[in-house]
């Protein structure tokens, strides 16, 4: 994702890449010397938290695609944003189609009482369930204003039925060859509805990343989700 972002930024005439930093390098030094307007972070949860705090101390806006943040983490970031007067975007997915899938799933959630999510990612993804699936389940629950019903049954192996988020079961698949994929399945009386999105290359995330870089400086505080910029 880092290399894809570098290539995408370099391809835009109105954007200038001033630094490319790996985990472990001195972000503080780069911020002091290069003075960027925006930091894009695709690292790991622990590193991202530190990077955000450091960037905000220098009043550098942040576009963050790293996932795994807890509500406590989000509260910390909100506080840092307020102290520095600088915005941060946390986006679990930058693909436009993935954002639309969340929107469509949220709308469908009002009409179905049973739903399950299958998310499939490459074998190097660390967190499970994915940030996208957790965000999808949260938006569905908010729109439906209800807890989804769970199908009862005996589990021969622990974990076979996935993790539950307000009654929505989430199943995580990790395999080489995958990039990022998600299915949201709804069940009703005599019918099912399936919504699916597939990212078949990391280029699918770049339009959302570029859009966020251009818009983040006009935002305020902590923004969660790319849909806020569409």
In eight-state DSSP terms, residue 146 is S
Beta-carbon contacts of 90 under 8 Å, excluding residues fewer than 6 positions away, are 64, 69, 74, 77, 222, 223, 224, 225
Query: Which segments of the chain does DSSP mark as H helices, in order?
Result: 2-10, 27-34, 45-57, 71-84, 96-108, 131-144, 206-215
Known catalytic membership, residue 121: yes
Closest CA to 168 of 191, 190, 189, 144: 144
In the CATH scheme, what is the code of domain 96-199?
A: 3.30.360.10
CATH 3.40.50.720 range(s) for the chain read 2-90+203-229
Q: Average pLDDT in the 98-108 region?
A: 97
Q: Average pLDDT in the 38-54 region?
A: 94
Distances in Å between the Cα of 124 and the Cα atoms of 120, 129, 177, 183 are: 12, 13, 11, 20
> Where does the pLDDT of residue 25 fall: very low under 50, low under 70, confident under 90, or very high at 90 and above?
confident
> Where does the pLDDT of residue 166 fall: very low under 50, low under 70, confident under 90, or very high at 90 and above?
confident
Which pLDDT score is estimated for 151? 85
Which pLDDT score is estimated for 153? 77
Closest CA to 61 of 212, 208, 224: 212
pLDDT at 24 over 90: no
Cross-strand bridge partners of residue 171 = 118
Q: Average pLDDT in the 209-217 region?
A: 97
Distances in Å between the Cα of 22 and the Cα atoms of 19, 44, 50, 80, 193 are: 10, 11, 13, 23, 42
pLDDT at 158 over 90: no
Known catalytic membership, residue 125: yes
pLDDT at 172 over 80: yes
Which pLDDT score is estimated for 26? 87
Bridging pattern class, strands 61-64 and 163-165: unpaired
* Average pLDDT of the chain, as a whole number: 94
Which pLDDT score is estimated for 107? 97
> Where does the pLDDT of residue 108 fall: very low under 50, low under 70, confident under 90, or very high at 90 and above?
very high
Q: At what angle do helices 27-34 and 45-57 cross, to 10 degrees?
A: 30
CATH 3.30.360.10 range(s) for the chain read 96-199
pLDDT at 4 over 80: yes
Which pLDDT score is estimated for 227? 94
What's the length of the chain?
230
Instruction: Give me the CATH topology for the region 2-90+203-229.
Output: Rossmann fold (3.40.50)
Kindly name the residue from 45, 103, 125, 138 that is annotated as catalytic: 125
Q: How far apart are CA 19 and CA 188, in angstroms?
A: 51
Beta-carbon contacts of 75 under 8 Å, excluding residues fewer than 6 positions away, are none
Kindly name the residue from 76, 121, 155, 171 that is annotated as catalytic: 121
pLDDT at 156 over 80: no
Q: What string of DSSP letters covers 62-110?
A: EEE------HHHHHHHHHHHHHHT--EEE-S---HHHHHHHHHHHHHTT
Cross-strand bridge partners of residue 64 = 41, 90
Q: Is the peptide bond before 13 cis (omega within 30 degrees of 0)?
A: no
């Amino acid at each position: 994702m880092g290399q894809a972002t570098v290539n995408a930024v370099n391809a835009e005439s109105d954007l200038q890449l001033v630094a490319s930093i790996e985990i472990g390098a001195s972000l503080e030094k780069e911020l002091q010397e290069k003075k960027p307007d925006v930091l894009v972070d695709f690292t790991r949860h622990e590193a991202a938290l530190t990077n955000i705090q450091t960037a905000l101390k220098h009043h550098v806006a942040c576009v963050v695609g790293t996932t795994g943040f807890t509500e406590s983490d989000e509260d910390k970031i909100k506080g840092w944003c307020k102290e520095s007067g600088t915005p941060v975007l946390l986006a679990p997915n930058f693909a436009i189609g993935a954002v639309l899938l969340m929107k469509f799933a949220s709308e469908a959630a009002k009409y179905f009482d049973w739903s399950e999510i299958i998310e499939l990612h490459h074998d190097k993804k660390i967190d499970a369930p994915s940030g996208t699936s957790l965000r999808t389940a949260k938006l569905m629950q908010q729109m439906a204003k209800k807890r989804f019903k769970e199908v009862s049954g005996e589990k021969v192996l622990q974990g076979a039925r996935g993790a539950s988020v307000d009654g929505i079961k989430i199943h995580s698949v990790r395999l080489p060859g995958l990039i990022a994929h998600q299915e949201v399945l709804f069940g009703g009386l005599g019918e099912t509805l399936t919504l699916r999105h597939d990212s078949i290359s990391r280029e699918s995330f770049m339009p959302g990343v570029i859009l966020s870089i251009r818009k983040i400086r006009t935002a305020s505080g902590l923004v969660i989700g790319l849909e806020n910029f569409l």
